[in-house]
Amino acid sequence: MYLNRSGNWIANSDQETAERPADLGYLIGYQICKAYYENHSDKKQAVHDILNIRNYREFYEKSGADNLYR
Rounded distance between C-alpha atoms, residue 26 and residue 8, angstroms = 12
**What Cα–Cα distance (Å) separates residue 64 from each residue in 22, 47, 68?**
25, 16, 8
Q: Mind listing the pLDDT tens digit of every residue in the chain (70 residues)? A: 566 665 666 667 777 777 777 778 888 899 999 999 999 999 999 999 999 999 999 999 999 998 887 7
CA 36, 41, 43, 47 torsion: positive or negative? negative
Rounded distance between C-alpha atoms, residue 2 and residue 4, angstroms = 7
Q: What pLDDT is recorded for position 68? A: 81
Entry pTM: 0.76
Q: What pLDDT is recorded for position 30? A: 94
Q: What does residue 3 show for φ and ψ, rounded to 5 degrees?
A: -90, 165
